[in-house]
Chains A and B, each alone.
Chain A
Amino acid sequence: MLEFLSIDIGTIIFTICNLLILVWVFKHFLFGRVYKILDERQNDVSETYAKADEAMEHAKSLESEYTGLMEGAKEESAEMIKAASKKAQQRSDEIISDAKNEASAILAKAGEDVEREKKRAQNELRGEISELAVLVAQQVVEKEITEADHERFINDFIENVGDLK
Chain B
Amino acid sequence: MKVSDFFQGVKEVQVGGPKIACSFKLFGININITETIIISWGIVIALTLLVLFLTHNMKKKPVKKRQVIAEFLVETVDKLVKDTMGKRYKSFGPYIAALFASSIFGSLVSLIGLRSTTADYSTTLSWALMSFIMIEAAKIKADGVGGYLKSFINPLNIVSEISTPVSMSFRHFGNVAGGMIITTLIYFALTGLSTALYCDIPIFTIGLPAVLSLYFDLFSGFMQAFIFIMLTMIYIASAKTEE
Residue of B nearest to A5 (CB): B121
B47 CB–A CB distance under 8 Å: yes
List A1-44 residues whose CB lies under 8 Å from chain B. Answer: 1-16, 18-19, 21-27, 29-31, 33-35, 37-38, 40-41, 44
Q: Which residue of A lies closest to B73 (CB)?
A: A30
Please pick, from A7, A13, A26, the residue contacting B94 in the complex, using a CB distance under 8 A: A26
Verify B34–A4 contact, CB threshold 8 A.
Answer: no
In the complex, chain A residues whose CB is within 8 Å of the CB of B130 = 16, 19
Give the complex CA separation of A27 and B120 in angstroms. Answer: 27
Task: Give the interface residue-count category, chain B.
Answer: 35 or more
The reply to whether B74 and A12 contact each other, CB–CB distance below 8 Å, is no
- Cross-chain contact A1 with B32 (CB below 8 angstroms): no
Q: Take A16-B126, A22-B98 as given contacts and tell me if A8 and B34 are in contact as well, using a CB distance cutoff of 8 Å.
A: yes
A1 & B37 in contact (Cβ 8 Å cutoff): no
B16 at the interface (CB under 8 A from A): yes
In the complex, what distance in Å separates the CA atom of A150 from the CA atom of B34? 183
B110 within 8 A of A: no
- Asked whether A31 lies within 8 Å of B94 as measured between CB atoms, the reply is yes
Task: Out of A1, A10, A30, name the residue touching B70 (CB < 8 Å).
Answer: A30
B185-226 Cβ-contact flags toward A at 8 Å (1 or 0): 000000000000000000000000000000000000000000
In the bound complex, residues from chain B placing their C-beta under 8 Å from that of A10 are 23, 29-34, 37
B18 nearest in chain A by CB position: A2
The one of A8, A16, A19, A40 in contact with B32, judged by C-beta atoms closer than 8 angstroms, is A8
Q: Is the interface of B mostly helix, strand, loop or mixed?
A: helix
Please give me the residue from chain A that is nearest to B106 by CB atom.
Answer: A15
Considering the chains assembled together, what is the distance between the CA atoms of A40 and B60 in angstroms? 7
A44 and B62 alpha carbons, distance in the complex (Å) = 14
A9 to B120, CA, bound (A): 12
- Please name all residues of chain B whose beta carbon is closer than 8 Å to the beta carbon of A27 when the two chains form the complex: 94
Q: Are A34 and B58 in contact (CB under 8 A)?
A: yes
B74 pairs with A35, CB closer than 8 A: yes
B126 touches A30 (CB 8 A): no
Q: Which residues on the A side are within 8 Å of B37 (C-beta)?
A: 10-11, 14-15
Residue on A nearest B177 in the bound complex, by CB = A4
Q: In whole angstroms, what is the CA distance A18 to B37 when docked?
A: 9
Instruction: Name A16's closest neighbour in chain B (CB-CB).
Output: B126
Q: Which residues of A contact B67 (CB under 8 A)?
A: 37
Main DSSP-derived SS at the A contact region: helix
How far apart are A153's CB and chain B's nearest CB, in angstroms? 138
Q: In the docked arrangement, what's the CA distance between A101 and B146, Å?
A: 119
Q: Which of A3, A21, A37 has the most chain B CB atoms inside 10 A of its CB?
A: A37
Are the CB atoms of B129 and A12 closer together than 8 Å? yes
| B71 proximity list for chain A (CB < 8 A) | 34, 37-38
Most chain-A CB neighbours within 10 Å: which of B20, B40, B52? B40
Q: Do A34 and B98 have beta carbons less than 8 Å apart?
A: no
Q: Is the CB of B51 within 8 A of A25?
A: yes
The answer to whether B102 and A22 touch across the interface, beta carbons within 8 angstroms, is yes
- B101 within 8 Å of A (CB atoms): yes
Q: Show the binding face of B for A, using Cβ within 8 Å.
A: 15-20, 23, 29-34, 36-37, 40-41, 43-44, 47-48, 51-52, 54-55, 58-60, 67, 70-71, 73-74, 93-95, 97-99, 101-102, 117, 120-123, 125-127, 129-130, 177
Q: List 9 A-B contacts (CB under 8 A).
A: A1-B18, A7-B122, A8-B34, A11-B122, A13-B126, A25-B48, A25-B98, A26-B94, A31-B94
Given contacts A16-B129, A31-B93, 11 further A-B contacts (CB under 8 A): A1-B17, A2-B20, A2-B34, A6-B122, A10-B33, A13-B31, A15-B40, A22-B101, A30-B70, A34-B74, A40-B60
Q: Which 4 pairs show the lowest CB-CB distances between chains A and B? A: A2-B17, A11-B122, A10-B31, A27-B94
